[in-house]
Amino acid sequence: MKQKLFDKFAELFGSADGARFYFSPGRVNLIGEHTDYNGGHVFPCALTMGTYGAARKRDDRLVHFYSMNLDRFGVVEASLDDLTNKKAYNWANYPLGVVWAFAEKGHPIDTGFDMVIWGNIPNGSGLSSSASLEVLTGVILTDLFGITDLSMTDLALIGQYSENNFNGCNCGIMDQFAVAMGKKDNAIFLDTNTMKYEYAPIHLEDAKIVITNSKVKHSLVDSAYNDRRRECTEALAALKTELDITALGDLTPEAFEANKALITDPVQLKRAKHAVYENQRTIDAVA
């Protein structure tokens, strides 16, 4: 794959001299759905499938993105002097959003770069192709521009920040964290409320985890995902009128049952119940 990327890079940008090679995995979540943005626990692991990239600095203020998977969009060009989400950029809004987030977080880059990617995560399959691309871009920026004071956790948070604020999806931290912090033969037991985590070795002996592509396309930005998050936030606000909590993940199922009457909207009640009980299921699964 490395040579194919470099060959395409040379075809597009004249040569591949000085280009560097990168990889960022996808992720699958074993349990803990809709808990990460509710301050609960998740249990994801990184995949061998992911996003490959080749990149090189430029000496001007332009950034160029090209996807070998989405070649119909050609080379997408943007400027560091106009870091805004544009419909014409399509998929390239994800890496451009990370460039924007770096600047927002005090790490603006002073020159542009060229970037070619190829991935083997099926688009819209729920295996975090967008988070993989965001973390890949973060790694590329830190490497090309010598940024040494950002940890992999920082890159995960920057990826989430860019997706929330540049691309309009109010996702939690799980996807980017699993991509950035994944470890071979381990899942990650992450408390999204505190960001404390531990690796859990996955020893399945004769069993296997099977990931099936249902062919149903999945897009967080275009789906009801943001509605789910809003409904959970509203349920939390109702509970906080009487309870000293910061997130639904603070509640045990017993505490939720004792106070659920505070939530008067039936849809919000349903969302909150799932978040609380799923959080407990995740804790029990890892125990």
Structural domains in the chain? 2-201 (3.30.230.10), 225-286 (no CATH)
Question: Token match 């505190």: residue?
Answer: 194
Close Cβ partners of 69 (under 8 Å, ≥ 6 residues apart): 117, 118, 119, 123
Mean pLDDT, the chain, rounded, equals 95
β-strand pairing of 62-67 with 196-201: unpaired
Beta bridge partners, 117, equal 53, 67
Residue 118 and residue 4 in contact, taking contact as beta carbons nearer than 8 Å? yes
Burial of 213 (0-12, 13-18, 19+ CB in 10 A): exposed
pLDDT band at 126 (very low <50, low <70, confident <90, very high): confident
pLDDT of residue 147: 97
Phi and psi, residue 157, nearest 5°? -65, -35
Catalytically annotated residues: 175
Rounded Cα distance, 123 and 282, in Å: 27
Bigger pLDDT: 48 or 217?
48
pLDDT band at 251 (very low <50, low <70, confident <90, very high): very high
Burial of 276 (0-12, 13-18, 19+ CB in 10 A): buried
DSSP-assigned letter for residue 31: S
pLDDT of residue 31: 96
Q: Is the pLDDT of residue 91 over 80?
A: yes
Burial of 261 (0-12, 13-18, 19+ CB in 10 A): exposed
pLDDT band at 218 (very low <50, low <70, confident <90, very high): low
Q: Is the pLDDT of residue 287 over 90?
A: no
The angle formed by the CA atoms of residues 182, 113 and 107, to the nearest 5 degrees, is 65
* pLDDT one-digit tens code per residue, 101-118: 999 999 999 999 999 999
Close Cβ partners of 235 (under 8 Å, ≥ 6 residues apart): 248, 263, 265, 268, 269, 271, 272
DSSP-assigned letter for residue 50: E
* pLDDT one-digit tens code per residue, 46-89: 999 999 999 999 999 999 999 999 999 999 999 999 999 999 99
Close Cβ partners of 32 (under 8 Å, ≥ 6 residues apart): 40, 41, 42, 43, 44, 174, 278, 279, 281, 282
Q: Is the pLDDT of residue 189 over 90?
A: yes
